[in-house]
Structure 1
Amino acid sequence: MRMEAMEIGAVVGTAVQPVEANPAPTSSTSPRQQQATLMVDVVFPEQVNHHGTLFGGSAMAMMDKLAFLVATRETRRPMVTASSGRIDFRKPIPQGRLVELSGRVVQRGRRSVQVEVALAAEDLATGLRETSATAHFTLVAVDGPGAPLQEDDESFAQLPGIGPVTAMVEMVFPGHTNHHGSLFGGQALAWLGKAAMVAASRQARMPVVMAASERIDFHAPVLEGEIADLAARVVAIGNSSMTVEVLLHAEALLTGQRRLCTRGRFIMVAVGYDGRPVPVPQPLGRRLA
């Protein structure tokens, strides 16, 4: 391994030349877009769950951060995460592993960029490497944090589901925001992943791990000083897996105004203490695949 790849948290990659502010839409992949940007980190104790492996929300935060860097270097414009496609978690990553993330632009439009991210784990003692997660993100160019959208207080009251709703609140402090003053997308993903884990654990009453993220949509920014109000509910149960839907609303403390900002669906799998999937107890009288 090259020495520069060992620098923790370093971003390594070839320079990207500036581009025009409003390029014509294209679905082709240029030689510049094929170049990968790398980010290296280590799984520290504060990033692992109670199984001793990298928390799914932390992994998503890492991947979103790299996607932001890739999109910004490509466009040289302020970018925010608009959505993520399916995120697949293939292998758990134990504490102490080195993680290397690689990201590249796979498609670019007039205001949006699609970024593909892969996360590989490496055992520093043996050199063994495995791809642990893959994801696609769509980022869009903005002029600033943007004006809040119309009030939208969609909740789980009208949504079918199984079991109770898990509610959580987080305060958005300056350390949670990007340079636009709005909640960093990776932090939002970490909070959504935590809410999904709690909801699935309550439903199964056994340890769970994140297997995939089906889709995450960012509808509006959450601004510094607002409350992030999260609600999570299991909406489908398979044999050993559960699908959890999570809504994140922003709430202004002084006015009480709320708006839907982020919505995601996660696949959580129940595991035994040997780390293998185990059956999930089925709700009485029903089973949703």
Structure 2
Amino acid sequence: MPANLPVRLFDIVTPGSTNHHGTLFGGIGLAHMDKVAFIAAARFGRADFVTASCERIDFAAPCRLGDIVTVEGQVARRGRRSLGVEVRLLAEAPLTGEIRHCGGGLFSMVAIGEPAPVFPELVEGAADTEEELRMVDLVLPGLTGQGGRMAAGRSIDAMARAAWIAATRATRQELQVAESRDVVLEQPIAPGEVMELVPRIEGTTADGAWVGVELRAEDVLTGVQRRCGGGRFRLAAVSALAAVAA
């Protein structure tokens, strides 16, 4: 029986994702929640799903520019062909670690295709005891290159973002990527697959951190994962870089 564990997507609120108030545009937040609902449903039911409806979508507080956004989803109810996924939208202040509940809702995901899938029993209260930070995203056609696979630049950008989030959480400093090493892309990721990033802190200093990131792809229908690449990133404190430049 597959574990009904939470699925988490992480992002950073950048100027390109804000509205005219300087906070996360609601449509982007809703799209993140929809992707997480799909991944949670697909991992639990191992079927192809579409979004049928959204219930009780609330935006309780804004996600501010520079915040780390966490979108968390978990299957909450089970039907014959549908799964209800509860999704939460959280914002984290990068320098203090303060976490704010910013929204959420219930997404009804319906399995498509024949024969109808047979869902496992829903175990209430499944908890995630995994200490390793794992970040997921759904690869959509808009992220692919000419060969129909995820573009190399987007893969490297995703690894750098994962490294930044992990290093910021570990140091609570204002950081930026200063160096990368051993970056390799071993296999392409296809549209419809889940991209999983696993950043690991290799060491911290007074002015930054080294982070190793593993890039994986998952077939949502089978659950089979494969390694697609990885790299090492040095995140340096902005104040330290400014001192060197001066």
Report the TM-score, using the length of structure 2 for normalisation. 0.47
Larger strand fraction of residues: 2
Report the TM-score, using the length of structure 1 for normalisation. 0.40
Which has more radius of gyration? 1
